[in-house]
Structure 1
Amino acid sequence: MENRLKNLKSAMKKQSFQQLQFTHKHRQRVLNDIKKHGQTDEEVLLAVLQLLTHKKTGFELTNHLRSRGIHRFEEEQGFLYTLLHGLEQKQYVKAAWDDSQTKYYVLNDKGRKVLQKAEAKSPTFLLKELLQGG
Structure 2
Amino acid sequence: MEDRLKNLKKSMDRTVFTQLNFTDQHRKDIRDKIKQQDENEEDVLLAVMQLLVQEKNGFELVKLLRGRGVRKFEDNEGFLYILLHRLEQNQWIHSTWKESKEKNYRLTDKGKKILQKASKKQTKYRFALNELHEG
State if a TM-score over 0.5 links the two structures.
yes
Shift of 1:54: 0.4
Shift of 1:101: 1.0
1:110 corresponding residue in structure 2: 110
Q: Does 1:54 align with 2:31?
A: no
Q: What SS is found at the alignment partner of 1:106?
A: strand
Distance between the aligned counterparts of 1:73 and 1:66, measured in 2? 8
Distance between the aligned counterparts of 1:110 and 1:55, measured in 2? 15
Gap runs ≥5 in structure 1: 1-33
Q: What SS is found at the alignment partner of 1:40?
A: helix
Q: What SS is found at the alignment partner of 2:56?
A: coil
1:131 corresponding residue in structure 2: 133
Structure 1 runs of 4+ aligned residues shifted over 6 Å read none
Distance between the aligned counterparts of 1:40 and 1:60, measured in 2? 20
State the one-letter code of the partner of 2:96.
Answer: A
**Cα deviation code 1:72-103 (max 9, x no counterpart):** 00100000000001111111010000111110
Distance between the aligned counterparts of 1:66 and 1:128, measured in 2? 24
| Identity over aligned pairs, percent | 51
Distance between the aligned counterparts of 1:99 and 1:41, measured in 2? 32
Shift of 1:42: 0.9
State the one-letter code of the partner of 1:73.
Answer: F
Q: Does 1:87 align with 2:61?
A: no
- TM normalised by structure 1 equals 0.70
Shift of 1:40: 2.0
1:25 corresponding residue in structure 2: none
**Cα deviation code 1:1-23 (max 9, x no counterpart):** xxxxxxxxxxxxxxxxxxxxxxx
- TM normalised by structure 2 equals 0.69
